[in-house]
Chain A
Amino acid sequence: MSTGPLIQTRELSIGYAHTHIAGGLNLQLHAGQFVCLLGANGSGKSTLLRTLAALQPSTGGELLLQGKPIQKIRSADIAKIISLVLTDRVGAGNLDVYALIALGRYPHTGWFGILHEQDKQIIEQAIKAARVEGLLTRKFDELSDGEAQKVMLARALAQDTPLIMLDEPTAHIDLPGRIQLMQRLHHLSRTEGKSILISTHELDLALQVADQIWLLLADGTLHTGTPEDLVLNGTFEAAFNREGVVFDRATGSFPVYSPFRNKAIILLGEGAPFLWTKKALLRAGYGVAEKGSKEAPTVVVYEEEGRIWWKYNREGKSKTSDTIAGLLELVHRAL
């Protein structure tokens, strides 16, 4: 195998016959890299993935797979380099989970698709890596969304390709399931040297696991870089800041609240009680500062012998509360 990038594009444009989606894409994906493709709904994430996977033709530019133009590679050989987990519904033909995973061996088997000992071993490994041992005798269409996603990952692993592409793999899965899936993918890229390319909306998860982020904007431009660089150089802020939506560089998240009450409160305290009090005040619509004029109302958080309580000072008078709910009531009444 060549040591150059697994996928490389030069001035690639994507889209359909009468719809241009994005152009001038210069991308590189190296072996063992975990890449997250981020972008709003309708920005063309799926189209880009489908183009890179040769499911649809590009509308211009060059797409090289292991250094070779993709048009010159037979589809049977592409299938030995790229495996896919798509959002397509799979639901016909009475397939049980084992048979479905075994279909991953398709590009490696002969004319009749007979599985040899080596194929069976690879299937076993894929089953273990995706943790679907308990599902093998079930029918695929009886699985939950999370289970189905794991099975489709196992099928992609059975295809045994250096690159796995997943289109929105975390959609329809509950939070623990999403984190497990991301952990598993991250583990695969670190231990097996697999390249992983996923498209996702989950910015916070992407920031944690991605080696590289491809950020596709609605205007068809694409920004690439390590997640930390994109945070620090302001690319995320520029990309996501819309009316009322602000990217918080300090936490790497999007706060939902805005200080609609237009009143500032000085908050003093430490640790988790401080953070959660701040959260509550922000949600209630107050601005929160850690220092300010003496006249401004002040909340002090105390933590003593496992007991947490709050003192609220305003214009020389002070009141205390044992709960955040009580504190919020005090603040509302006073202001």
Chain B
Amino acid sequence: MPLLPTHPSKPRSVPLRVLYSGLFVLLLLAFILDIAWGSVSIPLPAIGKILFSSQGNPTWQYIVERIRIPKACTAVLVGCGLSVGGLQMQTLFRNPLADPSVLGITSGASLGVAAVMLSTGSMGVFAIRELGISGSWLLIAASTAGSALVMTLILAISSSVKSNVMMLIIGVMIGNITLSVVSIWQYFSAPDQVKDFLIWTFGSLGGVNGGHLSILAVAVGTGLVLSFAGSKMLDALLLGENYARSMGLTVRRARLLIVCSTSVLAGSITTFCGPIGFIGIAVPFLARTIFHASSHRVLTPVCCMMGAVIMLLCDAISQQARSGSVLPINVITALIGSPVVIWIIAGRNNLKRMG
């Protein structure tokens, strides 16, 4: 029998199975914490009773089943989708500061929402508030149309652009154009309409119920499957486009798949929850650093679980506002995410890595 290699075949010290199960336990705990911890205090045993036997105080039952569980599920979907989208963008553009919004899809959704919220007043047909902002199908249709518009544009460009860097610049520029259109619209709108729009930009995990939740789940699920299927391509792209091509990767096809899955993830999440920042930057970075992994076959599930845990925690924290109201989710993610971004920029090896 030939001698086995004496060096460790991989420098990761934690076996994958331990890593995955540890993260999964964390995920369960965060899920339970998010359900148990809200602005109305419900004791843990009562929650257990509601979850497993559907009995108990009807108000509590309503809160748990109709509000908290859908919200926690939304948090899991958003955490998975944005983290994996960010991971893909960072690898594709070989830039640790890329996130799903760099393709301009998030701003596309904003454009759609702005079109509905800011123009309804001038059309004088109906007041958007009477429809209920978060639940409105009209809003969802508009924001889907907005992100689909930008996504189609990006995909069309993606197949004719040569380098990924150009793709990044074009994505950022399209985002800029879209946002300035939104700004012009805001400038000429009435103050209370602008306020409604601003509230949407704060992001919200609430109000994604029933039909909406299943649509979101299908979209995020599709995006995640596409992304996981492309994990070998993403690995090759770590070495840059030329090396990737020399190893047999068709770069344009790979880019199309990656852009497509990220668009589906970011587009659907922004449509239902508003533009949620920072998760897409912070989670992939944490996953790479903490678990010393580079293979996307490992990073994709790790990002999913870490993203879900962080999103659940952010949601749990956002419900702790004194006044009994709920802090917007974007405030919390930014509060946690910004220090991480600073860490990325000031971290010891990353100045070199990005230069």
Chain A contacts to B: CB under 8 angstroms? 50, 53, 55, 74-80, 82-84, 86, 88-96, 98-100, 103-104, 106-107, 109, 111-114, 120-121, 124, 133, 136-137, 139, 141-142, 159
Contact = CB atoms under 8 A, between A and B. Distances in A.
A86 B294 CA distance: 21
Nearest to A84: B246
Contacts of A99: 10, 294-295
B211 interface: no
Given A75-B250, A113-B231, A137-B8, 11 more contacts: A75-B249, A86-B243, A90-B238, A92-B95, A92-B96, A96-B10, A99-B10, A99-B294, A112-B232, A114-B297, A159-B247
B311 interface: no
Contacts of A55: 242, 245-246
Interface stretch (B28-36, B146-154, B263-271, B285-293): B285-293
Nearest to A111: B232
B238 A113 contact: no
B294 to A, nearest CB: 5
A74 B249 CA distance: 10
A74 B247 CA distance: 11
A198 B15 CA distance: 41
Nearest to B287: A94
Nearest to B11: A137
Given A75-B249, A83-B246, A112-B231, A94 B8 contact: no
A103 B239 contact: yes
A79 B242 CA distance: 12
Nearest to A141: B353
> Which residue among A53, A76, A91 has the maximum number of chain B CB atoms within 10 Å of its CB?
A91
Contact of B248 (A75, A95, A120): A75
A100 B248 contact: no
A150 B242 CA distance: 18
Interface string B95-109: 110000000000000
B322 interface: no
B235 to A, nearest CB: 6
Contacts of B11: 96, 98, 136-137
Contacts of B235: 103, 106, 113
Given A75-B250, A112-B232, A120 B9 contact: yes
Identify the interface centre among A50, A99, A114: most chain B CB within 10 Å of its CB: A99
A98 B239 contact: no
Contact of A137 (B5, B7, B238): B7
A113 B352 CA distance: 29
B91 interface: yes
Nearest to A142: B349
Contact of A109 (B10, B232, B240, B250): B232
B236 interface: yes
A299 to B, nearest CB: 54
A111 B297 CA distance: 11
Given A137-B8, A142-B349, A93 B240 contact: no
A103 B288 contact: no
Contacts of A159: 247
Nearest to B232: A113
A142 B90 CA distance: 20
9 contacts: A50-B242, A75-B248, A86-B243, A91-B353, A94-B288, A99-B294, A103-B238, A103-B239, A106-B247
A109 B295 CA distance: 14
Contacts of A92: 90-91, 94-96, 238, 353
Contacts of B353: 91-92, 141
A94 B344 CA distance: 13
Contact of B243 (A88, A112, A142): A88
B233 to A, nearest CB: 9
A96 B8 CA distance: 12
A127 to B, nearest CB: 8
Nearest to A94: B288
Given A55-B245, A75-B249, A106 B236 contact: yes
5 cross-chain pairs, A with B, having the tightest CB-CB distances, nearest first? A79-B248, A76-B248, A113-B232, A93-B238, A92-B94
Interface in B121-176: none
B131 to A, nearest CB: 45
Given A94-B288, A112-B231, A53 B349 contact: no
Interface string B1-35: 01001011111000000000000000000000000
B248 A106 contact: yes
A151 to B, nearest CB: 11
A55 B240 CA distance: 13
A133 B5 CA distance: 10
Interface in B282-323: 288-289, 292-295, 297
A147 B171 CA distance: 36
Contact of B289 (A79, A94, A96, A106): A94
Nearest to B96: A92
B219 to A, nearest CB: 24
Contact of B247 (A95, A96, A103, A111): A103
A304 to B, nearest CB: 56
Interface string B36-70: 00000000000000000000000000000000000
A283 B90 CA distance: 55
